[in-house]
Amino acid sequence: MEMGNRTVVFEFILLGIPNTKGQETILFVIFLAFYLCTILGNLLILSAILDDSRLHTPLYFFLCNLSVVDLGFASISTPKLLVDLWAKGRTISLGGCMSQVFFFHFLGSTECLLYTVMAFDRYVAICHPLHYLIIMNWRVCAILAAGTWVSSSFHATILTSLTFTLPYCGPNVVDYYFCDIFPVAKLACADTYVIETVTFTNTGVVPMTCFLLILMSYVRIAASVVRMHSAERRRKAFSTCASHLTVVCFFFGPCALFYTQPSLSNVLATAILIFCNVVTPMLNPVIYMLRNKEVKAAFRKLKGG
């Protein structure tokens, strides 16, 4: 469609994963296996927690929220990638591209904030155990959970709106396997300084602030654990934090590498994004299944063991 002497873009072409031509079938099988494991693992976590009344506590309430985020995160780009690998078609509509940008930043921000809230929950549980149920009552938990979802929706709406109010006149080839702000904004036939500045600020400030808050929480937790006289209490405190610390490292590690190294090659950047979008949502339920005794007990109860 022409507007003046400029063509309006109604669809984009995704170049996909670089250097994988001829390997579409094996990649389809691998990504399908990851996706099915992610769906199954997170549904099992949700079912186990909802089924076991002993897990109806703030920690597992937030873990349920995290599982919902992981279910959504895995579904942002993987189904489209599977279709592209199977049908060898790489086009995505303008609406589909907008949806991928919105949900990628919406769920990514929600996950980041949830990790921070869960760190605060562990800080209160270990450093102020006698006041835990007073501080982390259900009203506070509901407000914290709702706050993460609502604030993230505003965050994603602003970024998506700024991205797609830019005029796109062609070319329409996105050098990624899914739509994200920077590869899409490169195609705009207008100055992208504002959207690039806002995106760098938001994607840098939000994770960095969350990481510093998590770090502060664990410094206080470590100080409290060191002062504990009972080895059993120290072991229990460590076990309640180990799963959370592991998933935090898997989340913030690749993010830090991706956003602090702008000169990363396209191959390495794609590998990091695949790890974040495909692998991490599958690892989260596995980590909690393997490292958390209460979750393992809930699974045994769920399967009648």
- Tell me the C-alpha distance between 8 and 2, whole Å: 6
Q: DSSP 3-state assignment of 163?
A: helix
- Tell me the C-alpha distance between 248 and 295, whole Å: 18
Torsion of CA 226, 230, 236, 242, to 10 degrees: 20
- Tell me the C-alpha distance between 108 and 148, whole Å: 11
**What b/e readout covers 207-239, taking b as 16+ CB neighbours within 10 angstroms?**
bbebbebbeebbeebeebbeeeeeeeeeeebee
Domain with 118 in it: 2-302
Helix (H) or strand (E) holding 69: helix 58-87
Provide the pLDDT for residue 30. Answer: 93
The number of C-alpha atoms within 13 Å of 53 and in the hemisphere containing its C-beta is 0
Provide the pLDDT for residue 24. Answer: 87
Provide the pLDDT for residue 3. Answer: 44
The backbone torsions φ and ψ at residue 261, rounded to the nearest 5 degrees and listed phi first, read -125, 80
Residue type for 18, please?
A: P
Provide the pLDDT for residue 235. Answer: 78
- Tell me the C-alpha distance between 259 and 275, whole Å: 15
Provide the pLDDT for residue 61. Answer: 94
Helix (H) or strand (E) holding 289: helix 280-291
Is there a contact between 36 and 279 (Cβ–Cβ < 8 Å)? no
Provide the pLDDT for residue 62. Answer: 93
**pLDDT by position in tens, the chain (length 305):** 444 445 477 889 998 888 888 888 999 999 999 999 999 999 988 988 888 888 888 988 999 999 999 999 999 989 999 998 888 778 899 899 999 999 999 999 999 999 999 999 999 998 888 899 899 999 999 999 999 999 999 999 999 998 998 888 878 898 888 898 888 888 888 887 888 778 777 777 888 889 899 999 999 998 888 887 777 777 777 777 888 888 888 888 887 777 666 666 777 888 888 888 888 888 888 887 766 777 777 777 777 75
- Tell me the C-alpha distance between 141 and 217, whole Å: 17
Burial of 166 (0-12, 13-18, 19+ CB in 10 A): middle
CATH number of the domain residue 47 falls in: 1.20.1070.10
Q: For the chain, how many structural domains are there in total?
A: 1
Provide the pLDDT for residue 262. Answer: 60
DSSP, res 20: -
